[in-house]
């Protein structure tokens, strides 16, 4: 039986094969090469570090950027793995023209230049806007948690420090008492002294952490990555992580804006919605978000910015003052014209006009109280409230905006239901399929840069799937032509980076 045989490895070729012939014409590595070569590197910040006349020459930022785009597209993130691929991967040999930078050079490029990844992401989104890939009418906003470099063990709050100090003091007292015993053996005495020294050292450490926590004004501190925070991921699961806010357009599910944060979603609705408007270059937009973004102040501010919100309404908090569901707050109807509430028993509740300040988490909201004198004689009092003075309804200054949002969500549930289809699969792709569920760098600034690269790669892959290889090549060439026409006047007028994005959009 005959078999297909390979070539003789030791055979010398008279006409060696060109490496360009090995790479297929429809290979995505050719698109990466064309895309990076089309970028205005100087305007995007790639050329901020000029090569020195003396000493060893530096690698061109263009080549290192090509390496990272190729790596992240093929789920290779770490600098050591990228270094290895440069030595054995034929596509990378073609892309980098045989260059083999060491892992320190590769890692340093990503760590020291986070802004260029953010700038290139914005630049690419501007190109998507110009290419009519964005619907620019409806966007979805959501946050997803990505594990930080900092472990749980190296994250501290006052409760954890206090508990550790209490344990250390207990052990110190134990070993001091043990050393006071006269019949203690020499080996046991040495061991006790060593333990005592160790615990005193630990006590100094926790005292120092307690001082740092008090001076920082924060509720927690992390020692490996100072910007990382302990965040509730889901259910009762807590991780030391970053919360990455993401905005996705509904037309082709493309990421148009993002921001790496170390806080929850509660105050992110307005700033991310404004960024979405700027990315789409529109005056008004519709935003879909889950109940983690339900904040009266944020929803009211969105109305002023011509942002229509569809934010899921969380279940209202319940307390022991309301004995039966028939008398929950939503059962009381409000009359805007008369500024009164009507209770389920038909009694009118009025306000004295006084404004009170109510603290919700870190926010202070102005509220009014509504009461009725008929509570004391009402036969349903014991079903309505456990307070002997009667029922009080509290109305926030942002209640009207929240009620309008609630009405929209209930009237058009299909609009809000589209939120999951628009944005959830993106996190599934990045975390589950690609394995990017954790962060490699330290600090908000560097992580913001890496997510610029991750979302650039996501959009890049998405457009490649939509257009195909050949059509994407043509689109890049058209983008290059339009950009080259615009860059000359931009350089002459010495305008900043924002002008480039605006010019590309228009």
For 353-400, write each residue's pLDDT tens digit. 888 888 766 678 888 999 998 888 898 888 888 888 889 888 988 888
Average pLDDT over the chain, rounded to whole?
Answer: 88
- DSSP annotation of 421 reads I
- Residue 176: the pLDDT is 87
Half-sphere exposure in the Cβ direction for 171 (13 Å, CA)? 18
Q: For residues 147 and 239, what is the distance between their CA atoms, to the nearest angstrom? A: 7
The per-residue pLDDT for 193 is 87
Q: How would you class 172 by CB atoms within 10 Å of its CB: exposed for 0-12, middle for 13-18, buried for 19 or more?
A: middle
In this model, does residue 505 exceed pLDDT 70?
no
Q: What is the pLDDT of residue 488?
A: 40
Burial (Cβ within 10 Å: 0-12, 13-18, ≥19) of residue 183: exposed
Find out whether 179 and 196 touch, Cβ atoms under 8 Å: yes
Q: Is the pTM of this model over 0.75?
A: yes
**Residue 258: per-residue pLDDT:** 96
| Pair 320, 423: CB distance under 8 Å | no
pLDDT at 82: 97
Identify the CA nearest to 439 among candidates 170, 187, 241, 296: 241
Give the residue, 56 or 483, on which the prediction is more confident: 56
Q: Name the nearest CA neighbour of 320 among 376, 384, 381, 380.
A: 384
**C-alpha dihedral sign at 286, 287, 291, 294:** negative
* Overall average pLDDT of the 245-255 stretch: 95
DSSP 12: P
Placement of tokens 């895309």 in the chain: 35
* Residue 376: closest CA among 368, 365, 387: 387
- Give SS3 for 143: strand
Q: How is the chain split among helix, strand and coil, in percent rounded to 5? A: 50, 15, 35
The full set of domain ranges for the chain reads 21-131+468-505, 138-148+229-310+407-433, 152-222, 325-399
Average pLDDT over residues 36-56: 84
Whether domain 138-148+229-310+407-433 has CATH 3.30.420: the reply is yes
* pLDDT at residue 480 in the model: 62
Residues 256-312: tens digit of each pLDDT: 999 999 998 989 999 999 999 999 999 999 999 999 999 999 999 999 999 999 999
**Structure confidence by residue, pLDDT tens digits, 437-491:** 999 999 999 999 999 999 999 999 999 999 988 888 888 887 765 554 444 433 3
- Gap between the Cα atoms of 169 and 180, Å rounded: 17
Neighbours of 105 (CB within 10 A): 15
User: How far is 125 from 501, CA to CA, in rounded Å?
Assistant: 9
Residue 338, helix vs strand vs coil: coil
Average pLDDT score over residue span 36-61: 85
Per-residue HEC secondary structure of 422-482 comes to: HHHHHHHHHHHHCCCCECCCCCHHHHHHHHHHHHHHHHHHHHHHHHCHHHHHHHHHHHHHH
């Amino acid at each position: 039986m005959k078999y297909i045989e390979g070539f003789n490895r030791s055979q010398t070729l008279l006409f060696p094969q060109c490496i360009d012939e090995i790479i297929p014409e429809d290979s995505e590595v050719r698109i990466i090469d064309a895309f990076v070569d089309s970028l205005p590197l100087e305007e995007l910040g790639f050329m901020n570090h000029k090569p020195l006349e003396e000493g060893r020459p530096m690698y061109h930022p263009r080549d290192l950027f090509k390496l990272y785009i190729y790596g992240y597209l093929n789920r290779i993130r770490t600098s050591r793995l990228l270094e290895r691929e440069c030595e054995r991967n034929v596509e990378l040999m073609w892309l980098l023209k045989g260059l083999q930078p060491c892992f320190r050079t590769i890692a340093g490029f990503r760590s020291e230049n986070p802004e260029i990844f953010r700038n290139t992401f914005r630049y690419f989104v501007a190109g998507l806007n110009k290419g009519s890939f964005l619907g620019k009418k409806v966007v979805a906003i959501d946050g997803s948690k990505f594990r930080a470099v900092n472990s749980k063990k190296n994250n501290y709050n006052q409760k954890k420090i206090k508990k550790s100090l209490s344990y250390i003091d207990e052990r110190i007292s134990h070993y001091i008492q043990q050393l006071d015993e006269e019949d203690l053996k020499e080996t046991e005495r040495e061991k006790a002294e060593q333990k005592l020294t160790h615990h005193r050292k630990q006590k100094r450490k926790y005292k120092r952490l307690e001082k740092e926590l008090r001076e920082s004004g924060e509720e927690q501190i992390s020692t490996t990555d100072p910007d990382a925070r302990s965040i509730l991921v889901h259910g009762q699961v807590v991780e030391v992580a970053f919360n990455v806010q993401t905005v996705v357009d509904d037309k082709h599910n493309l990421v148009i804006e993002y921001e790496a944060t170390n806080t929850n979603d509660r105050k992110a609705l307005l700033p991310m919605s404004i960024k979405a408007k700027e990315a789409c270059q529109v005056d008004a937009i519709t935003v879909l978000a889950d109940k983690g973004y339900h904040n009266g102040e944020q929803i009211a501010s969105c109305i002023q910015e011509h942002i229509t919100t569809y934010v899921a309404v969380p279940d209202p908090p319940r307390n022991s003052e309301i004995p039966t569901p028939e008398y929950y707050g939503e059962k009381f109807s409000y009359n805007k014209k008369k500024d009164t509430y009507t209770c389920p028993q038909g009694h009118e509740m009025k306000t004295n006009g006084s404004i009170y300040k109510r603290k919700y988490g870190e926010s202070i909201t102005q509220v009014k109280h509504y009461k009725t004198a008929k509570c004391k004689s009402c036969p349903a009092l014991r079903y309505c409230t456990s307070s002997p003075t009667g029922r009080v309804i509290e109305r926030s200054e942002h209640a009207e905006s929240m009620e309008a949002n609630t009405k929209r969500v209930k009237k058009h549930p299909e609009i809000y239901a589209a939120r999951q289809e628009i944005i959830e699969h993106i996190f599934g792709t990045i975390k589950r399929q690609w394995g990017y569920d954790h962060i490699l760098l330290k600090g908000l600034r560097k992580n913001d840069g890496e997510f610029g690269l991750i979302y650039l790669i996501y959009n890049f892959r998405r457009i490649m799937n939509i257009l195909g290889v050949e059509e994407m090549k043509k689109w890049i060439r058209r983008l290059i032509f339009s950009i080259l026409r615009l860059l000359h006047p931009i350089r002459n007028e010495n305008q900043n980076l924002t002008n480039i994005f605006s010019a590309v959009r228009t």
